[in-house]
Structures are given as structure tokens and as C-alpha cells.
Chains A and B, each alone.
Chain A
Amino acid sequence: MGFIVFLVLFPFLTAAILTMTKNNTVRKAVVYTGSAIIICTAIVFSLTALIKGIDSGAKYFGVTHLVHVIDTVMLGIEILLMVLIVYLSIKHKKYYAGLLSVAGTVLIAWLELSGKAASVQNHVYCDKLSVIMCLIIAIVGSLICIYAVGYMVDYHNHHTEFKDRRTFFFPMLFVFLGAMFGLVISSNLIWIYFFWEITSISSFLLIGYTRTKEAIDNSFRALWMNLLGGLGFAGAIVYSTTVLHVTTLQQLVYHPASIITLVPVTLLAFAALTKSAQLPFSKWLLGAMVAPTPTSALLHSATMVKAGVYLLIRLAPAMSGTIAGTMVSLIGGFTFLVASMLAITVSDGKKVLAYSTISNLGLITACAGVGTTETVWAGTLLIMFHAVSKSMMFQAVGAIENATGSRDIEDMHGLIVRLPFLAFVMIIGIAGMFLAPFGMLISKWAALKAFVDAKNILLVLFITFGSATTMLYWTKWLSKILACKAQTRLRRNTTSLGQWFSLAGHATMMVMLCVLLPVLSIKLIEPLLAQLYKIEHVSVLAPEDMVIMVVLLLLIFVIPMVARIIVKKMTFKPNMEYMSGINQGDNRHFVDSFNQPKLMFLSNWYMEDYFGEKKIWKISVAIAAAVIVACIGIVIGNLTGGAI
């Protein structure tokens, strides 16, 4: 219990210290110590939680004596935040954001002040899912903070046009972490809502960091979409407390299924869809790219979007087989396919990563929506793999941008020669994202099987076509990085020590996750599923498949290593590339029809005529919006039908 309080409060404390820190060296020290403490606490906490509570299952904690104080403080902060949002939205003439914020906050304030809120026994809930999420947030999130210190120095060296607001930036990062911890260990819906809103608002503030017009527009887009979700969340709380007299998430999920319980579940799922940037709300996450890289890394990997899918996984048992589940799984599957198609057509590295995040979240969402044990197993694994690999890749792209001045994939041609270490990090990340036998693929496999079992041909369609498109954009990128362009020189690597530490940490984690996959599955995720579904024993991976996984894993590590050694010893005649006999001799130029050397340029395919944003964006958003409206409509229609 002490650990939990510490984990939630300590980041806020660090943030407070950081607001007062002007000096970069001091800031560095504070960030490093803060992050180290968070990581250590989280590890100790999870170990104790797992060892002590591994058989007794989930633990509820009552926080009775302080509840009133905490509730009042939370309400106060919420109202303060609302005032802030209203002020900012009036200042930037984006009134709708202010309105949404007022609507949500007023609902909750009314609920609390009117005394309608039933007394809550359990505010905090801690099970294996919370532990997994805590670990992800603590380790990945803190490493991103460490990375940010070095990155922001470079960033402000490159971008002198932006005001240095680091005294604002770093506290926000830590506030974010604190809010995430709060979110994943709260059981009380009002508490979850509180932390939910904090993540929305701090992401809004972080995206608007540079204060350019684009940044402000994008940050407000993020804000209104998330506030809309927040409004849905608030609606769910009001409904479940007043009608169902249910105040905690766990009670709601295990409430006997009926058309009445379905209403808050659907609303919560809707909130989660906005948060995890599913269609039609994907635009905000794409817009978030304008912020400095650590923000993107944080939003895309450990926090924010993960809050959405976390909630969906929690809701999965309640959604399984209902119209809410159908909505979530359809939206998720559809997003998986569409985002992966869009990822083919863009060449900006960060944008590809953004689309791939949306796409992967789509897969997790679809898994949660189907809500069988297999899919939730896959979804949980995906959350872990995605958090680590995406955070790593964002950081690597950021470092590449700082070193080469570009984050375009076309400019990453021959990165393996120019910046071998960063390229290597990228390769591990990409391999982790789609290559057999890494987690992503195993999860996809489990998901596909479950979708077939669920007899959902649409989802099967999404996943088969989506796998093809996913494979294309990753292979494209990988092949660019690995191209050995002649006569390219080693670039000076401007990556700082802290950044290296973070990247290396991520890479190690990635490899560990892959190697330990069977252990993770048996020791952590399968018991978690048993807990979530309140059944005795779950086993997803058949032993013989597990064996193949291990063999594959060995192959994929061992073959390149062995081949590397053989190749190093090998002597071969280096030969020119074939260019119809008119290679200039340097493998980079050919002789043109005027007998002049001409630079050869090789580019990837982008297939814009098929998958371009112009072609499919609007229609996809329309379809997704229609699905959501239709499903929520059905849920509410059922309700009135039932009442009559």
C-alpha cells in the first residue's frame, strides 16, 4: 500500500521540484534520481506484489480515513483544471474545448456534491494487470524522461526559434507518469476519471509545447477529442452510480450482465477509444508529432494511449459477446487495417511510427473487444511489446534526427553505415514489431485464431489484409536502413550518454521480453487471465508451439550472429553494382547520355494512389463514426425498449 501511494505521489513531487529548477545540470540530476527512484520502487513493488499476492489474487485496499480529504482535493484540482482549460480555450478562440471540459467537470462535481455518490469501499485495486502497467509506466516512462534531458539540449540547439520552456516540460512529463500510476491502480471510477482527465490535459499542454500555430491547433484537437471521451466517461460514472449504484470499475465489470450495465460499459469503451486514438479519433495522435520527440515517445508507448487500451482490457470480460464488444472490436480491427495502409504512404519516420501505433492499438482494441481469454492474452502481450518497441523507436528516430537533421525514411538510406548503433536499435525495434517469432506476431496469431473462433469474418479480413500492409511498411523501412550505400561515412553521433542509456535499456528489455516470453505467458499473463475471468486455469500457447517459438527465436538470433562471424572471416572480391555497364565506378553515379556522371537515387514505393490519405482518410473516419454512433444508438435504444 505504501508503495502505491509513493508511486502516485512521488512523480508529482519530482514535478514540483523540477518547476523550480532552472539550471540544466541540477535538472539532469533531479530527473535522473527521480527516474531511478521510480523504476526501483516499481520493481520492488511489483516483486512484492507478485510474490506475496500471487496466489491470493487481486487485492483491494480501502482508504477510508482519508477519503473525504482526497475526494475534496481531487474535485478542487478538477475545477482548477477546468478553469485553466476554459481560459486557454477562450484565449485561443477554441470554445468547444472549454464547453466539453465544463460539461464533464460539472457532471462529476454535481455527482459528488449532491451526495448521490454511494459510499465507496475500495478505492484502490491492485492485480497483475496493474503490476504490468506499473512496470511499463515506470520503466519505459522513466527511461523516456532520462532520454529527454539529453534530447532537449540538442533540440533547443537545433530549434532556436522556439522558446525554451523546459521548466514546464519536465514537470509535465512527471505529472503524466504520476497520473498514469494513479489511473492503473484506482478502482473508484471517480478517481480513475480524475487521473484520466489529468492525462488528457497534460498531453494537451505537452503537444502545444512549441506554441506555433500548428502545435496549438493540434493540441486543441487532442484536447477536444479526449475531453469528448472524458465526457463519455463522466456520463458512465453518473449512470452507474445513480442507476446501478456501482462505484468501482471492478464492480461494474463483474456486475451481472444486462442491457442496463451495458450503458456505462459502452460509454467507458467509447472513452477508451478516444484515448487510444482509434478511428475516427486518430487524428489527434498524428497531430501530437509536432511536439518534441520525448512527448511522442511518452504518448505513444507507456502512457496516454495505453490508458485507453488498459481500460478496454479491464472491460473485456464485460464486453465479451455484447454490442459494446462488437463496437470495440470492429473499430479496432478497422483501425488496424486503415492505419497500416496509411503507414505505407508516408515517408516521415515519426508519422510512420504514429500510424503504426494507431494500427497496433487497433489490434489491441480488437482483441479486447472480442474479449475471450486468448484475445486478452494477445492484447496484454501486445501492450507490453508495443510499449517497449515503440518508445525505443521514437527515441531512436529522435536521435537520428538530431544527428542527421532529418527524420525522413528516404534519408535513412544506408543508416547502418552512417550511424550503426542507432540503426541497430531501429532494427531491433522493427524486428520486435513484426518479425516472427517476436511477441507482436505471436499475439497476431492468437488474435487471428480467436477471431476465427468468434466467427467474425470481418475481423479475420481486417487482420489478414492488415498483416500484409503492416509487413510492407516495416520491410520497406528496414530495407532502407540496411542498404549499404557506397562511400557513406560514419556520422558523428550526437546522442548523449543519457539517451544511450535509455536506448540500451529499451533494447535489452525488448530482447528480454522475447526471450522470456514463455515465462511471462505462464507466470504472469495466464494467471492474470484466470483472475480477470474468474476461472481456474487458462492456457493459451500449446507446448509444442512454444517449442517452435523458442527454436525460431534461437534461429533469428543465432543465424545472423553465426553468419556474421563467417562473413567477417570471408574474403571475397568486391564487385561493382550492375548498372548496365555504365557504373561510374563509385557505385553511386552512372554515366548519362551526355557522358556526364549522374547521381543515382533509389526510393521506396508509397502507393499513394491506393492507400493515400486523400483517398481513404475521410471515408474511413465516416465509416468508423457511423459504427460508433450505430452501436451506441443500439445500446441506448435497447434501454428505452426495455423500459417500455
Chain B
Amino acid sequence: MAKLAKSPWLIHYDGSSCNGCDIEVLACLTPVYDVERFGVINTGDPKHADIFLITGGINSQNKAVVEQIYSQMPDPKVVCAVGICACNGGVFKDCYNIIGGVDKVLPVDVYVPGCAARPDAIIDGVIKAVGILEEKRKKKGGKH
């Protein structure tokens, strides 16, 4: 039975985003999209979160921060890169300070492309992430 799927809590981190994707992420919570229908909550606390939602690319300033927040999330957990910058650096890819997409530092499970990513795409990504979360739990359960 799906033990995690019905209650994905997420933490949203703004890497070096232009805020376009962030606005779309927050738009998901509004009445129009109402992501809470699926039990999704934006917790803001890594220790409560299952899904790490990152917008924007990784730069040398926030690399350690992203890694630390990831380490503070209890297993099982998934990373969801939202927007093209988070996927591979986007238009900022060649900037002096940009390391690249989130997958340069964390194992990304779901890529949600777009500039900015549309709310329906983000919701779709989160739902995909939930599936992966469930798989991870089963794998982890199998180990015991």
C-alpha cells in the first residue's frame, strides 16, 4: 500500500533562480491549482520534508547550503529540480559563478523543465516524485 504517496511534504529552496519558477511554485498552492488536494504541504523545514524542490542553478555560494539541507532530510527523500536552470543551469550555465544544475551536487530524481516551469508541470513533477519516494521506501524496507 502506498504509505508515503498520499502525503508528500516539500521544502522549497531558491538556488540562484530569477524568482520566475518560485512564483510558479507558490502559484501551485493558490486556489487555482490547490496542490493541497494531493496532501502536498510546503513545510519549509527539511526535517519534516519528503521532497526537496529546488529552483535555480547551483552556484558556489549555495552549494554547501543545498547539501546541508539535503542531509537534514530524513530518508526516504527525493530531489526535484524545477525549471531549466535547476535542471542544467539554463541561460546562466556559462556564468563565472554557476556550477550548473542541481545534479552537480545532489542526486536529482525528477527534472521539471520550463522557463518558467508551469504550475501544472510542477504538480506533475511532484506527483512523479511521490512515485519515486514510494519505490525508495520499498527498497529501503527490503534492506531490513
Query: CB within 8 Å of B: which residues of A?
Result: 575-576, 578, 580-583, 591
Contact = CB atoms under 8 A, between A and B. Distances in A.
B52 to A, nearest CB: 11
Contacts, number: 23
B58 to A, nearest CB: 13
Contacts of A578: 45-47, 72
Nearest to A580: B65
Instruction: Classify the secondary structure of B's interface with A.
Output: helix
A575 B47 CA distance: 10
Contacts of A583: 68
Interface of B: 13, 45-47, 64-66, 68-69, 71-72
20 contacts: A575-B47, A575-B71, A575-B72, A576-B68, A576-B71, A576-B72, A578-B45, A578-B46, A578-B47, A578-B72, A580-B65, A581-B64, A581-B65, A581-B66, A581-B69, A582-B64, A582-B65, A582-B68, A583-B68, A591-B64
A595 to B, nearest CB: 8
A580 B66 CA distance: 10
- Residue from B13, B66, B68, B69 with most neighbouring chain A CB atoms (10 Å): B68
A257 to B, nearest CB: 66
Contacts of A575: 47, 71-72
A180 to B, nearest CB: 55
A581 to B, nearest CB: 4
A575 B45 CA distance: 14
A591 B64 CA distance: 11
Nearest to A583: B68
A581 B73 CA distance: 11
A639 B66 CA distance: 82
A116 B14 CA distance: 91
A578 B65 CA distance: 11
Contacts of A591: 64
Contacts of B69: 581
Contacts of B46: 578
Nearest to B67: A581
A126 B100 CA distance: 88
B59 to A, nearest CB: 13
B80 to A, nearest CB: 17
A324 B46 CA distance: 62
- Residue from A578, A580, A581, A583 with most neighbouring chain B CB atoms (10 Å): A581
Contacts of A580: 65
A503 B71 CA distance: 44
A482 B72 CA distance: 23
Given A575-B72, A578-B45, A581-B66, 14 more contacts: A575-B47, A575-B71, A576-B68, A576-B71, A576-B72, A578-B46, A581-B64, A581-B65, A581-B68, A581-B72, A582-B65, A582-B68, A583-B68, A591-B64
A167 to B, nearest CB: 60
B44 to A, nearest CB: 10
A591 B68 CA distance: 12
A395 to B, nearest CB: 40
A575 B48 CA distance: 13
Nearest to B73: A575
A548 B71 CA distance: 45
Contacts of B47: 575, 578
Contacts of A581: 13, 64-66, 68-69, 72
A563 B68 CA distance: 30
A591 B72 CA distance: 17
Nearest to A585: B68
B35 to A, nearest CB: 24
A583 B66 CA distance: 12
A575 B46 CA distance: 11
B45 to A, nearest CB: 7
A581 B69 CA distance: 5
Contacts of B71: 575-576
B108 to A, nearest CB: 18
A575 B70 CA distance: 11
Nearest to B71: A576
A561 B45 CA distance: 31
Nearest to B47: A578
A591 B63 CA distance: 13
A65 to B, nearest CB: 80
Contacts of B13: 581
B119 to A, nearest CB: 25
B86 to A, nearest CB: 16
What 8 pairs across the A-B complex have the smallest Cβ distances?
Answer: A581-B65, A581-B69, A581-B68, A578-B72, A575-B72, A582-B65, A576-B72, A578-B47
A583 B64 CA distance: 10
Contacts of B45: 578
A10 B46 CA distance: 67
A577 B69 CA distance: 10
Nearest to A577: B72
B51 to A, nearest CB: 16
Contacts of B66: 581
B65 to A, nearest CB: 4
B124 to A, nearest CB: 27
Contacts of B65: 580-582
Contacts of A576: 68, 71-72
A261 B72 CA distance: 73
B54 to A, nearest CB: 12
Nearest to B61: A595
A578 B64 CA distance: 14
A574 to B, nearest CB: 11
A221 B64 CA distance: 60
A581 B47 CA distance: 12
